[in-house]
Amino acid sequence: MVLETQVGKKLRDLKRRLKQENPVLEHVVDSFRELDRISRRLGLLDSHHSHADRTSWWPLISVLGVYSSGKSSFINHFLGYRLQAVGSQAVDDKFTVICFSDEPSVRVLPGLALDADPRFPFYRMSRAIEEVAKGEGLRIDAYLQLKTCPSESVRGKILIDSPGFDADAQRTSTLRITDHIIDLSDLVLVFFDARHPESGSMQDTLEHLVRRSVGRRDSTKFLYVLNQIDATAQEDNSEEVFAAWQRALAQSGLTAGRCYAVYIPEQALPIADPVVRARFESKRDAHLGAIYQRIEQVGVERAYRIVGMLEQTARLLEQEAVPRLQRFLARWRRLTLWADGVLWGGVLILFFAGTLYGGYWEGLDLRLPLWERLSAYPAVQTLILLLLAAAAVYLHFSIRRWTAGRVARSLVAGDINGEMQAAYLQAFRKNSRWFRSIFRRRPAGWGGRTARSLAQVLDDSQGYVQKLNDMYTNPSGQAQAGPPRADTPP
């Protein structure tokens, strides 16, 4: 099929890019391909989708926060390249995806370049926007743009600059994109403005980016940055401002560390007192250094995260998807047998009641002598039997469709999330086709061979972790080759 060829080509391209840079992840692609085959056998995955699409294969760093908090200035400083426009007011109302390019000039591409390319983290984002904001999916260029940059700092990484948070920005579609970014990112930098720590936009940021991150399993990937702290140099009260900001974070539920106070040298206000200036610069350099060091680690974290997603997906299929499908099929079987029993039980009761009380219903004699009188016409008897059998089969399959519809509606109304809900519906429909027996207890596509293939994927995922440990750790202290760096994003 053409769609299968497209998926296969994408995975082959991915393997080729990873072959020289990270051989471990090259083999992980093969395991994802096997997971795709298993999921398609079960009916949980379309032929034009892959589990490998659920994550970015290059480290992803997102910069979020309030308007005018210096996000763009920070990005330019990190890149060593004036890529993003800066200003005291909102200068960009789109999510900007930044990746490396060998070309010396910057290219700005529309949102369609991201929406239509599965190698980027915004593949088919227009559909997600359309689900929450009718008609907005057609305006993908109003939400996203792609910029290329020759800075070596972004080689092998993907950087995302976001529009700021304020009351106008709290549109459903914008928040949907923000949530998508957060889920995929290896590192999330949340910026606040030290000049306006009590603004309404800060409260919006606290609500959406702090309170919702506290209970996440990956909460350690959030770094909270109080930027433009040099604005406090004149009063020399940076510690007080920083402490007040931390209290605001704590009131939102954040009790752990990962808080930094910085300012960007190129945008800094002049500090006349040399002692104060030296203290501010020392703290700024220490905090910026810690942030940049964490950014450099995302390549390692991304490799482990991809392997972890492989194992998580395999266990989801084994421990949740297959048992759920078995429960759906069991419920469908019970409903069908119950409905069949009620129907044919009612027919038998009416037949015996009619026979017992004379056998005449509206002048029609249903007693055996009627059938005996037709014995002279065997063709008629055969035709009647065939019609009765056809009616019975038709009624049975009508009941099957009705009970399958009830189970399907219960899936839609259940507590399964949207993505998995569609997958379960697709798999259940595959299992409830007319030629599938209602007495089959295992889902279609699930058997000993499939179970062994899935077990092999799980074993391989453990082996990948060990290989990554061999590359990135050295408990023995013996000399070894340095870890590979990630490839250049497409």
Residue carrying the six token digits 């308007």? 67
Token output for 189: 């930098």
What mean pLDDT comes out for the span 68-85? 86
DSSP label of 414: S
Token output for 85: 């426009």
What mean pLDDT comes out for the span 353-377? 57
The model's confidence at residue 167, banded by pLDDT at 50, 70 and 90, is very low
What mean pLDDT comes out for the span 365-391? 72
470: helix, strand or coil: helix
- Alpha carbons 147 and 139: distance in angstroms, whole number: 18
- Alpha carbons 192 and 231: distance in angstroms, whole number: 13
The pLDDT score that the predictor gives to residue 419 is: 67
pLDDT tens figures, 98-120: 988 888 888 888 888 888 776 67
What mean pLDDT comes out for the span 66-94? 77
Of 240 and 481, more confident? 240
The pLDDT score that the predictor gives to residue 5 is: 62
- 447 has pLDDT over 60: yes
Residue carrying the six token digits 């945008």? 267
Helix 23-42 to helix 298-316 angle (10° resolution) is 20
Q: Which of 22-31, 118-127, 364-373 has the highest mean pLDDT?
A: 22-31
- Alpha carbons 256 and 336: distance in angstroms, whole number: 54
The model's confidence at residue 165, banded by pLDDT at 50, 70 and 90, is low
CB contact at 8 A, 123 and 114: yes
The pLDDT score that the predictor gives to residue 57 is: 81
Residue among 308, 337, 319 at smallest CA distance from 438: 337
Of 461 and 126, more confident? 461
Distance of CA 391 to the CA centre of its chain: 47
Q: What share of the chain is helix, strand, coil (3-state, %, to 5)?
A: 60, 10, 30
CATH code for 57-296?
3.40.50.300
- Residue 212 CA: distances (Å) to CA of 3, 108, 219, 249: 37, 32, 9, 12
CB contact at 8 A, 209 and 190: yes
- 329 has pLDDT over 50: yes
- Alpha carbons 191 and 164: distance in angstroms, whole number: 9
- Alpha carbons 419 and 180: distance in angstroms, whole number: 13
The pLDDT score that the predictor gives to residue 355 is: 59
Instruction: Name the residue ranges covered by the structural domains of the chain.
Output: 57-296, 321-445
What mean pLDDT comes out for the span 53-79? 85
pLDDT tens figures, 174-215: 777 788 888 888 899 999 888 876 545 566 666 677 777 777
The model's confidence at residue 486, banded by pLDDT at 50, 70 and 90, is very low
